[in-house]
Amino acid sequence: MNYYNDIKNELINNEINRKVKNYSINKSDLNAYYNVGKILSEAGKHYGENVIGDYAQKLKIELNKKYNERTLRRYRQFYNFVTNLKWSAMPTKLSWSHITELMVLSDEDEINYYISLVNDRNISYRKLSELIKDNEYSRIDENTKNKLKHKKRLNIKDFIKSPIVIRNNNNYETISEKVLQKLILEDIESFMKELGNSFCFIGSEYKIRIGNNYNYIDLLLFNYEYNCFVVVELKTTELKKEHIGQIEVYMNYIDENLRKINQDKTIGIIICKQDKKYVIKYCSDDRIIAREYELV
């Protein structure tokens, strides 16, 4: 069997398809790279590891310099990657650039998580790279991971990361609640993505009147997917039981004064320096969740 000619023909045919079938370039690329990877894998079993370097030298002369040894090894890696995941069909929204980002991962559940993000949100490979570098999957609760794996129904609290990453672009050394709020507001979009999907910003220092006194909610958000308000309170200390009482009052106020009859009950998120699990454990209101923050 002439492995080299088979590889050469796959690459030539793909170049032709890329010119005459522009609408299906991505599919053609992935099929060609997969087939080349498969042939290289078989050739390596017969002729040894050095065969890739030999083929690369010939392709460099006969076709194009982009088909170097590193590229061919990437194609073989792609073939092994797909084989190990047992894909029956190539995910249609994944580009080659998406694939190269995913190939650094080894955990199948993590890979499938990011693939679902690409398919559901149509995110770019650059955004995918950011999510992987930020360890988004590892910051999801284990219970949520189990739900994802078994395709169980998810709720708004499932996608709140732990810890929540907040960017300290100005390198503040002393972090007060006001400074923490300022950092969040400087990049509110990134912050809301740390909480999950479909969040809208309503206001900061949101003014409410309880009796004769005014109180101020640190952040008030709304989630249009789950159709509910979200109260966010910021604490630069460890979680305390009085924080639970405070946010519960705010949540109840929003439910009574802002929530419409067709909306779900308000969710409360306490973002703190240190999460004392037992405080939440003995909290009777399961709408309240605590998450630690991490400055980067």
Q: Work out the pLDDT band at 25, boundaries 50, 70, 90.
A: confident
pLDDT at 18 (0 to 100)? 73
Cα dihedral sign for 68, 69, 73, 74?
A: negative
Residue 60 confidence (pLDDT) above 70: yes
Among 235, 246, 245, smallest CA distance to 275 is for: 235
Overall average pLDDT of the 20-41 stretch: 84
Q: Work out the pLDDT band at 24, boundaries 50, 70, 90.
A: low
Residue 23 confidence (pLDDT) above 70: no
Residues of the chain with pLDDT > 70, as a percent, come to 96
Residue 229 backbone dihedrals phi, psi, to 5 degrees = -75, 155
Overall average pLDDT of the 37-56 stretch: 91
What is the CATH code for 153-295? 3.40.1350.10
C-alpha–C-alpha distance, residues 119 and 116, integer Å: 5
Q: Give yes or no for a contact between 51 and 44, defined as CB atoms under 8 angstroms apart.
A: yes
pLDDT at 17 (0 to 100)? 78
Task: Report the residue count for the chain.
Answer: 296
Q: What is the token pair recorded at 202?
A: 């309503």
The per-residue pLDDT for range 136-146, each reduced to its tens digit, is 999 998 999 99
Which residue has better confidence, 276 or 110?
Answer: 110
* Inter-CA distances, 116 with 86, 122, 126, 152, Å: 16, 9, 16, 14
Q: Work out the pLDDT band at 85, boundaries 50, 70, 90.
A: confident
Q: What is the mean pLDDT of the chain?
A: 91
The per-residue pLDDT for range 26-35, each reduced to its tens digit, is 888 899 999 9
Beta strands per DSSP E along 121-249 = 164-166, 199-210, 213-223, 228-234
Q: Give yes or no for a contact between 43 and 51, defined as CB atoms under 8 angstroms apart.
A: yes
The per-residue pLDDT for range 201-247, each reduced to its tens digit, is 999 999 999 999 999 999 999 999 999 999 999 999 999 999 999 99
pLDDT at 263 (0 to 100)? 97
Residue 126 confidence (pLDDT) above 80: yes
Residue 22 confidence (pLDDT) above 70: no
Q: Work out the pLDDT band at 21, boundaries 50, 70, 90.
A: low
pLDDT at 20 (0 to 100)? 63
Tell me which residue has tokens 């003014």: 207
- C-alpha neighbours within 13 Å on the C-beta side of residue 205: 6
The per-residue pLDDT for range 246-293, each reduced to its tens digit, is 999 999 999 999 999 999 999 999 999 998 888 888 888 999 999 999
Overall average pLDDT of the 53-63 stretch: 90
C-alpha–C-alpha distance, residues 168 and 165, integer Å: 9
Where are the domain boundaries for CATH 3.40.1350.10 in the chain?
Answer: 153-295
